[in-house]
């Protein structure tokens, strides 16, 4: 392999590495944000909201079950 071929290959590798670095930088900015909330922050907020809704639904079902049980125990007449 001649010096010229080595230089061409190294130049091609350097170009690819530059492209990879640029892409990784863009991904990092998208994940962490660049002055605005990034994907990580937004997903964390969405998960917290979803978890809160899920807990409210669980409590609602529990309360409804309790009310139904109390009604059945005290007010329902057997026929």
Q: With contact defined as beta carbons under 8 Å apart, do 18 and 9 qualify?
A: no
Can you tell me the distance from the alpha carbon of 42 to that of 39, in angstroms, rounded to the nearest whole number?
5
Check residue 71 and give its pLDDT: 87
pTM: 0.58
Q: Which burial class, exposed, middle or buried, applies to 17 when counting CB atoms under 10 A from its CB (0-12, 13-18, 19+)?
A: exposed
Averages of pLDDT over runs of 10 residues in the chain (79 residues) are 95 96 94 89 92 92 91 73
Instruction: Tell me the domain boundaries of the chain.
Output: 1-36, 41-79
């Amino acid at each position: 392999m001649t010096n010229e071929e080595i230089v061409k290959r190294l130049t091609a590798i350097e170009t690819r590495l530059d492209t990879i670095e640029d892409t990784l930088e863009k991904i990092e900015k998208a994940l962490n944000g660049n002055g605005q909330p990034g994907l990580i922050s937004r997903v964390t907020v969405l998960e917290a909201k979803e978890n809160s809704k899920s807990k409210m639904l669980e409590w609602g079902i529990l309360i409804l079950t309790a009310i139904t049980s109390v009604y059945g125990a005290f007010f329902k007449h057997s026929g």
